[in-house]
Amino acid sequence: MKKFIPTSSMVSAAETLFMAMAFVETIRPIVLQYQMDILMKGQWHVRPDFAAKRGDEVIVEPKHSYLMSEEDFAEYDAQCKIARDNAKLHVDNDEQCPLLVAENMVRLAEEALVLAMYEHTKLTKDQLLCLGLEKYKQYIDLTLQLLAPFVKSTL
């Protein structure tokens, strides 16, 4: 059996993805904490057009912030931007959430890894996604396990 020897682009793509994943794990608790704190203080309710199905509940999770009225969301968003700045989290555009930016970096790094592995696997991102998101994530995980021994230990 032939021994697997990755190309430098494969190793570089894995390194980039590992760094992006670490960045998300660094940013996530900070952002989620200030988002949760702001939601708890704001006590914003589900907007009326969603309240018929969900009830008149108070929004307590950031992932449900889309259920707010536009006015409430504008206030929530403004407070999140202040908290982001106070936490010294950098974004290129003031409208960006640092967690969403970091998560997008992971998605882009995953795409780059799939592309770098194409010459070996002959699989594209679209082909992998057609198998389902779970299989796509499994492919990414297995590829990282394959390449991890070749990644610089200084990361």
Span 123-141, pLDDT tens digits: 999 999 999 999 999 999 9
Q: 28-67 burial, b if ≥16 CB within 10 A, otherwise e?
A: eebbeebbeebbeebebbbbeebeeeeeeeebeebebbeb
What stretches in the chain show pLDDT beneath 50? 155
Query: Which pLDDT does position 153 carry in this prediction?
Result: 64
Give the pLDDT confidence of 84-97 residue by residue, as tens digits. 999 999 999 999 99
Where are the domains positioned within the chain?
Answer: 8-149
Amino acid at 80: C
pLDDT confidence of residue 54: 74
Q: How many Å apart are CA 65 and CA 18, to the nearest integer?
A: 29
The pLDDT of residue 48 is: 86
pTM: 0.86
Q: Which long-range contacts (CB under 8 A, 24 or more apart) does 134-140 make?
A: 139/114, 140/17, 140/110, 140/113, 140/114
Residue 102's CB is within 10 A of a number of other CB atoms, namely: 21
